[in-house]
Amino acid sequence: MGVYRTMATTTTIRHSRRTSKTLLEPTGKEVESYEPPKLLVPVDPSRDHIQGDSKAILTLVEYGDYQCPFCGAAYPEVKKVQKELGSKLRFVFRNFPLTNVHEFAMDAAETAEAGAAQGKFWEMHDFLYEHQRTLGDHSVALAYAKKLGLDTQKFEREISQHVYQKRIKDDFMGGVRSGVNGTPTFYVNGVRHDGPAEADAIVKSLTAKP
């Protein structure tokens, strides 16, 4: 399994997402004046899944897909970042399921959201990334939900009725508008992180002086 993505190799020469005033200018200039895109959907503690102090000074947002192998590879890297920065960091996870290439990605996202409805988002998020190979077998996550003490009837009903699909799709489109171009895409303090999806690079980016 390839555990790097093109993002890791292209580092700093990404394009900014241009606003209206530059649309009519020659394209070549955009390459010269590179500026990474910004997170257009601000972190909202009443809606977002936030790990760590919701008022922490540093913010890492991930747009991820539970079936994406690159996200699976990034999962332990995020854990390292959290360990290193401790209470200074809040980590936010948003859904970006690429359902046309990942047939279990939507079900997995709905599973995590159904866990969230019963206060166990992060437990389920971690479980899914730690058991990526079992995503096709829903009974694995269901057994875990039972182990967590969730109301499994409600859990199963919400997944089968796609109760959280709108939320997931809203996450997705918000990501598209912020310049998410694949998974995982990270935003450090509101700016897209174009470097490698590795702990050292993310920490460096998070703690860089503006």
Partner 1 sequence: MRKDSSILNPGRKAPNFSLNSTPDQKVSLKDFRGQPVILAFYPADWSPVCTDQLSLYAMVMPEFKKFNAELLAISVDNIWSHLAFAKDRKLNFPVLSDFEPKGNISRKFGAYKEKIGESARALFVLDDKGIVRWSHLSPDGVNPGAEGILSALEQLNKPQA
Residues that bind partner 1 (CB under 8 A): 2, 5-6, 9-10, 13-15, 17-21, 23-32, 37, 65, 68-70, 98-102, 172-173, 176-183
CA–CA dist 97, 52 (Å, integer): 24
CA–CA dist 210, 205 (Å, integer): 10
C-alpha distance from residue 79 to each of 83, 126, 142 (Å): 6, 10, 24
DSSP character at residue 195: S
Q: Least distance to partner 1 from the beta carbon of 23, Å?
A: 5
Q: Which is nearer to partner 1, 37 or 115 (CB)?
A: 37
Token pair listed for 20: 């209206």
The helix (H) or strand (E) run that includes residue 113 is helix 105-116
Q: Least distance to partner 1 from the beta carbon of 48, Å?
A: 20
* Contact yes or no for 164/94 (Cβ under 8 A): no
Q: Which is nearer to partner 1, 42 or 149 (CB)?
A: 42
* Contact yes or no for 16/50 (Cβ under 8 A): no
CA–CA dist 196, 171 (Å, integer): 23
Q: Least distance to partner 1 from the beta carbon of 173, Å?
A: 7
Q: Which is nearer to partner 1, 29 or 88 (CB)?
A: 29
Q: Least distance to partner 1 from the beta carbon of 147, Å?
A: 30
Amino acid of residue 3: V
Per DSSP, the three-state class of 115 is helix
Q: Which is nearer to partner 1, 110 or 158 (CB)?
A: 110
Q: Which is nearer to partner 1, 83 or 177 (CB)?
A: 177
Name residue, tokens 């959907």: 41
Amino acid of residue 128: L
Q: Which is nearer to partner 1, 24 or 149 (CB)?
A: 24
